[in-house]
Chain A
Amino acid sequence: MTQEKSLVEIRWHGRGGQGAVTTTEMLARAAIAEGKYAQAFPSFGPERRGAPVQAFNRVDSKKPVRIRADITEPDYVVVLDPSLLDKVNVTSGLKKGGYVIVNTRKSAGGIKSEFKIDYPVATVNASKIAREVLGVNIVNTTMLGAVIKITNVIDKKSINEPIELRFGKIADRNIKAMETGYEQVAV
């Protein structure tokens, strides 16, 4: 069983255009750069701005990732957009004790009772952080910080290079957003 445990599966829920796919790619690159094995892929198909979408990460600290199916029984679920909570069953298949990491201004307790979520919930007001740090409500890098903190699948420093590669001139602000998300996520 300890061998099986090395695989961590994360399912991201967002809307087309919110950067869920980009974020999973950065997380996978960071894990691979650490020498781990990782996958990132979108829910395959045409891209539609605003439509609920999923993106997936598998990170394995020990062995190559062999499973090539969508993640139906994740260890963690990430919700980029709080308006998805009453439209999509985000906890579908979530393993027992698996975390739901939500972008919301509400408290974890509030989210749990409002949406009847019987799992640990971690919250961060990523929209507020993104508006303050980036000037726009694009929360993917902020949520990435929260995900790194809760899942611990990579070292926080490892994400800087993928962010720099992806964002170029605006990388510094995105790294700041990521770090703020990392600090402010609350369980």
Chain B
Amino acid sequence: MATRIGVEVSIAVADAVKLCNPDVIAAYPITPQTHIVEHLAELVANGELDAEYIPVESEHSAMSACLGSAATGARTFTATASQGLALMNEVVYVASAMRLPVIMAVANRSLSAPLSIWCDHSDMMSVRDTGWIQIITENGQQAVDNTIISFRVGEDPQVLLPVMVHLDGFNLTHVVEPIMIPDQAEVDKYLPKNRFPLPLNPDKPVAMGGFAAPAIFMETKWAQEVNIQNSKKVILQAWDEFNKIFGRKYEPIEKYQSDGAKTLILTVGSSGETASVAVDELKKEGMDVGQVRIRLWRPFPFEELREAVKGADVLIVMDRAISFGGPGGPIASEVKAALYNQAKKPNVVNYVISLGGRDTTVSDFKNIIKQGVGIAEKGSKNEYEIYGVRG
């Protein structure tokens, strides 16, 4: 039986990794991710987890070690954040292109400068084109569940892709909250053994990481693209199967009070729960408002998004990152792109909020929704709005 405990989310994520029985963990500590790998190191040191823990000297080495590990068919986990993700960037691309199912928790944190250890989504957005599957979680339970789900998805022979599970730094990683820790037998039932089809093996040698001349390079990239597009159906199956065993349902776009609502707020990550309280309060005040949340960021859920927002007149999109000199937040620019060719589409208003750990409260979200509706009616000179900046 699963047990419901009060636990810090980072510790619960590490315990979820343990339930998946990884073979190799190679990681470098960085705030606010540290508690995850620290606890895993502790579990290995105490003999509670039979895995190789490689305390590497940098994140670049962490991901490099993970590549080697995954290439042998070993179940492989790492975690990082912010500058760590930036430092490992070149190897992040290699993992997906070589189809190596490394599972990585990313404790979302802003990128320097100025130095900030607090949460926003600039690190997550910096890797959106690296070819990884990216799942964004909103609370501790989702982070735990989707860690387990990621191993199943990434290692699926039809997928074979690395997966990032995003959880907001501090806002999730450092919070003690109630979490159902799944039962080992249930996880074992849900998660098959890792069977990488062409592992490094001295008895049956293969070569990995070769170069591709112009004559073949485009074919390799298109194969990679078709593969990640096709991974969506496996992700949906994995979520479905998870729901059958564990009773918690995940969808690429999750809806809250959104059916028939004329105004929708779209959120990403932990602030979505706070926003849902604002939606409740505004509904009580008589406003016709609902919420949609992006759970799956890559592959991007085009159909589900279009379906979820098609009845709305106004869609207010929250971003926790700026594309400098660009079209506003990355979420909004992709949402707009997804809707552009639709005959009927909501008016999209984009707000950049909560950079570098700035709190966004229930009353902030209420303000944003009200202001957003006004902007949709009257129009705005701005490509996007930024909320809460003084002056």
- A-to-B contact residues, CB < 8 Å: 24-25, 28-33, 37-42, 44-46, 64-70, 72, 162
Contacts and interface: CB of A to CB of B under 8 A. Distances in A.
Contact of A28 (B4, B176, B273, B357): B176
A39 B175 CA distance: 7
B117 interface: yes
A70 B175 CA distance: 11
Given A44-B357, A45-B118, A24 B176 contact: yes
B192 interface: no
B61 to A, nearest CB: 25
Contacts of A31: 6
Interface string B166-200: 00001110111110000000000000000000000
Contacts of A40: 6, 175-177
A68 B274 contact: yes
Contacts of A162: 6
Contact of A67 (B4, B117, B362): B362
B251 to A, nearest CB: 18
Contact of B5 (A32, A37, A68): A32
A30 B6 CA distance: 8
Contacts of B360: 69
Interface of B: 4-8, 32, 117-119, 170-172, 174-178, 270-271, 273-274, 276-277, 357, 359-362
B178 A46 contact: no
B274 A69 contact: yes
A172 to B, nearest CB: 22
B362 A44 contact: no
Contact of B117 (A24, A30, A45, A69): A45
Contacts of A25: 6, 8, 176
B271 A68 contact: yes
A65 B361 CA distance: 14
B274 A66 contact: yes
Given A67-B273, A68-B271, A39 B176 contact: yes
Given A45-B118, A67-B274, A68-B270, A38 B177 contact: yes
A33 B4 CA distance: 8
A170 B118 CA distance: 35
A30 B178 CA distance: 11
A40 to B, nearest CB: 4
A70 B362 CA distance: 11
Given A28-B6, A68-B270, A68-B271, A44 B176 contact: no
B32 to A, nearest CB: 8
A67 B177 CA distance: 12
B311 to A, nearest CB: 25
Contacts of B361: 67, 69, 72
B178 A69 contact: no
B273 A42 contact: no
A62 to B, nearest CB: 13
Contacts of B176: 24-25, 28-29, 38-41
Contacts of A30: 6
A158 to B, nearest CB: 11
B378 to A, nearest CB: 29
Contacts of B359: 69-70
A42 B8 contact: no
B175 A41 contact: yes
B273 A68 contact: yes
Contacts of B5: 29, 32-33
Contact of B273 (A41, A44, A66): A66
B273 A32 contact: no
A68 B361 CA distance: 8
A179 B320 CA distance: 45
Residue of A24, A37, A39, A70 most packed against chain B (CB within 10 A): A39
A68 B117 contact: no
Contacts of A68: 171-172, 175, 270-271, 273-274
Most-contacted residue by chain B among A33, A68, A162 (CB, 10 A): A68
Contacts of A29: 5-7, 176
A46 B119 CA distance: 13
Top 3 nearest A-B pairs by Cβ distance?
A: A32-B6, A29-B6, A44-B170
A66 B359 CA distance: 14
B277 A32 contact: no
A31 B362 CA distance: 24
A64 B280 CA distance: 14
Given A40-B177, A44-B357, 16 more contacts: A31-B6, A32-B178, A38-B6, A39-B176, A40-B6, A41-B174, A41-B175, A44-B119, A44-B171, A44-B174, A45-B170, A66-B274, A68-B274, A69-B359, A72-B361, A162-B6
B118 A33 contact: no
Contacts of B118: 44-45
Nearest to A32: B6
